[in-house]
Amino acid sequence: NSDTVNISNVAVYEPGRQNAGASLYPNPVQQGFNLEVSEACEAELSDIQGRSLEQYKIQKGRTTLELPTGLVTGVYLLHCKGTNTNVTFRITKE
């Protein structure tokens, strides 16, 4: 019986940082933002408690996205998962 959990290729990105072929800007976000990824992926926006708010299908390159209408000011997470991509961005909504 083992309590060991192995996690690989997961990162949380802070505002203004870019790595692993993925970037998100501007951050903080008012409503719209750009997501650049090096491969197609599926993305899920959730609140800080992990509740799913929106799902997106992202194509390789730059995609402009909008936050859901009525989203209150706060911190949210955008998790992008593709074949070789597994990244979570911390988004600050102004």
Report pLDDT for 3: 59
Confidence of residue 84 (pLDDT cuts 50, 70, 90): confident
User: What are the structure tokens assigned to 28, written together?
Assistant: 């903080």
DSSP classification of residue 70: T
5 vs 52: CA distance, rounded Å: 24
3-state secondary structure of 47: strand
80 to 1, 2, 4: CA distances (angstroms): 32, 29, 25
- The pTM of the full predicted model, rounded to 2 decimals, is 0.77
Confidence of residue 79 (pLDDT cuts 50, 70, 90): very high
